[in-house]
A and B are shown apart, each in its own frame.
Chain A
Amino acid sequence: MGLLVVAMRLELALAGKLGEFEFDLQLDQVMDGALGVFGPSGVGKTSLIRAIAGLERGLPGRIVLDGEVLQDTAAGIFVPIDKRRIGLVFQDSRLFPHLTVRQNLALALRQTRQPIFSIQELAHECCFSELLDQPAPSLSAGQRQRVAIARALIAAPRLLLLDEPLAALDMASRQHLLDFLQRVSARIPLLFISHSVAETLQLCDPIAVMTSGRIAQIGPGEAMAPSLPKRRGLGTVVAVDPASGQVTIQLDEFAPDLALAQVVGVVSEPSWLKGRE
C-alpha cells in the first residue's frame, strides 16, 4: 500500500423530493483520503450515497466524478451503477447467500481488470481468514460486515462509499477496521457515513455535517470537531462520598455536557456500551 494517489474531484448538485423528503445536496470536494458525512438518523445520509452510486434515480441533478459526468438529468445522462466503478458497503452487508465467503470475494474480484488486493490479504486485514470456506449465511452480523467491506474493496473501486460499516462490530474489531480503513484511504478515497462522532473524527478529514436533506457544513476535522454533538463518552470516578451518596465524575471529551438536576443512565462496565463514541 502507499502508492501515489491522484486526487479526484466529486461535484454534486442534486435537488428534489424522494417521497415526502426534500433534498438539496450541494458538494464540490476533492476526494483525498476519507470524507466523513456525519448526521443523525433520518437526514438522508444513505440517500446521498445511493445517489452517488447510481441506486437512486429519483433525485434530479448533476453528479461529476473525476471529470466524468455520472448523472445530468437535464442532459438525459445517467451512467448505470455497474459502469460507475463506485463501491458501496451497505449497512446490512448483503453478501450473496448461496456462496461461501471466498466465493463472494472471488466473484467481486472477477469484476476488475486491475486488482488492488488479493483475497488472502483482505481476509487477513479484516480478520476472517478462518471463515473463508464458510457459507455466507452462517456468519454473525459483525463477521458479515467485515466480509462486505473486503468484498467491496476487492472489486477495486475508484471511490468507496461506506454506510455505517462498523455499526454491527464489537469494540476491538471496530478499532482494528478503522486503522485498516485509514490505510486504505491512502489508495482509494472513501466517503464514510456514520453517526458515531468518535469514528468520524478518527478516520475522516474533512467532515461534512448533514441536516435534513442538505449538507449544512463541511470543513477540516479539527475545525468541525467542536460542532459535532457529543453523545456518549466515558467518565472516571474521582471522588466518592459514601455519607451523602455523591460521586464526582471526570468526563472525557466525548461525553455530553451535563446540566444540574439532569437524570443520566449509568453503567459500571464501559464495554457494555456498544462502541465508545
Chain B
Amino acid sequence: MPSDLEALWITVKLALISTALLLLVTPPLAWWLAHSRARWRPLAEALVALPLILPPTVLGFYLLLLFSPQYFPGQTYQALTGSTLAFSFTGLVLGSMLYSLPFVVQPLQAAFTTLGKGELEAAATLGMSKLQRFTHVVFPMTRHSFVLAGMLGFAHTLGEFGVVLMIGGNIPGETQVIAITLFEHVEALEYVRAHVLAAGLLITSLVLLLFIYVGMDRRKRRWGYW
C-alpha cells in the first residue's frame, strides 16, 4: 500500500508540474497558431495535435531514443547534470508535456482566435506594451480558457501510461505512476488494490470533467459564449 501512495504522489506531482510548465510555456505557441498566416502553420498545428492520435508508445519510443546518452539531447543533459534523462523524473515531465501538449494548446488557441483584435488595438493606442497587453487584456479576457486548459492537461497527465512505460522505467518513488502500478496489481492478480486505484482514477477524472462542463455551461448561460 505505501508504494501505491508513493505512486499516487509521483503521479499528482508529475501532473501538476507538467501542467504548470505547459501553461507557462505554450501561450506564445497558441497565440502564434491562432494568428499566424505562415504557410507552414498547418504543419505546426498537425504536430501539436499529433499526441491526440499517436499511440503513446510511439511517442515514448522516440523520446527514449532522444533521451538516451547516445543522442544529442540526452547527451547534453548528462554532460550538464551528470545523470541520464531517460528513467528520470525530469525526463518524465518532458514526456508528459509533449503528451498533454494538445490538451493545453487547443483551448488556448480557440480562445485567442475568438478574442479578436479590437480591444488589443485599443490597448496599444493607450500606450500599453505587448507584455502589458497580455497581462491586462488577453489573460483576464481568456482566463477561463486557461483554467480549462489546465484542468484538461492535468486530467490527461493523470492517466498517462504508454509514454511513462517507455521512458520512465517504472522506478518506485521516482518514475512509478498509478496507471502502471494498477497494471502491475492486475498482473499480480491483486484485484482489491487494483480496484482502489482504478476507481480512484475514474472518480477523479469524472469530477474534473464535471467541473469543466458545469463551468462552461454556467458561463454560456451568463455570457452567451464560453
Contacts and interface: CB of A to CB of B under 8 A. Distances in A.
Interface of A: 53-55, 80-83, 85-88, 90, 92, 94-99, 107-108, 111-112, 148, 151-152, 155, 157
A136 to B, nearest CB: 10
B83 interface: no
A108 B119 contact: no
Contacts of B127: 82-83, 85, 111-112, 155
B126 A108 contact: yes
A241 B79 CA distance: 103
Nearest to B142: A98
Interface in B150-186: none
Contacts of B122: 88, 90, 94-96, 148
Interface residues of B, number: 16
Given A87-B125, A108-B126, 7 more contacts: A82-B124, A82-B128, A88-B125, A94-B121, A96-B141, A107-B136, A152-B125
A198 to B, nearest CB: 27
B140 interface: yes
B83 to A, nearest CB: 45
B74 to A, nearest CB: 41
Contacts of B118: 90, 92, 94
Contacts of B137: 96
Nearest 7 Cβ contacts at the A-B interface:
A111-B127, A94-B122, A81-B124, A88-B125, A98-B140, A155-B126, A94-B118
A86 B127 CA distance: 8
A108 B119 CA distance: 13
Nearest to B122: A94
Interface in B104-133: 118-119, 121-130
A94 B119 contact: yes
B124 to A, nearest CB: 4
Main secondary structure of the interface of B (DSSP, over half): helix
A88 B130 CA distance: 18
B121 A111 contact: no
25 contacts: A53-B125, A54-B124, A55-B121, A80-B124, A81-B121, A81-B125, A82-B125, A82-B126, A82-B130, A83-B127, A90-B121, A95-B122, A96-B122, A96-B136, A107-B126, A107-B128, A107-B136, A108-B126, A111-B127, A112-B127, A148-B122, A151-B126, A152-B125, A152-B126, A155-B127
Name the residue among B125, B127, B130, B137 with the largest chain A CB count within 10 angstroms.
Answer: B125
A81 B125 CA distance: 6
B121 A87 contact: no
Name the residue among B124, B127, B130 with the largest chain A CB count within 10 angstroms.
Answer: B127
B15 to A, nearest CB: 29
A97 B119 contact: yes
B143 to A, nearest CB: 8
Interface in B22-74: none
Contacts of A81: 121, 124-125
Nearest to A160: B125
B118 to A, nearest CB: 5
Name the residue among B121, B122, B123, B126 with the largest chain A CB count within 10 angstroms.
Answer: B126
A147 to B, nearest CB: 12
Contacts of B141: 96-98
A99 to B, nearest CB: 8
Contacts of A98: 140-141
Contacts of A96: 119, 122-123, 136-137, 140-141
Contacts of B123: 96
Name the residue among B118, B122, B124, B140 with the largest chain A CB count within 10 angstroms.
Answer: B122
Contacts of A151: 126
Contacts of A94: 118-119, 121-122
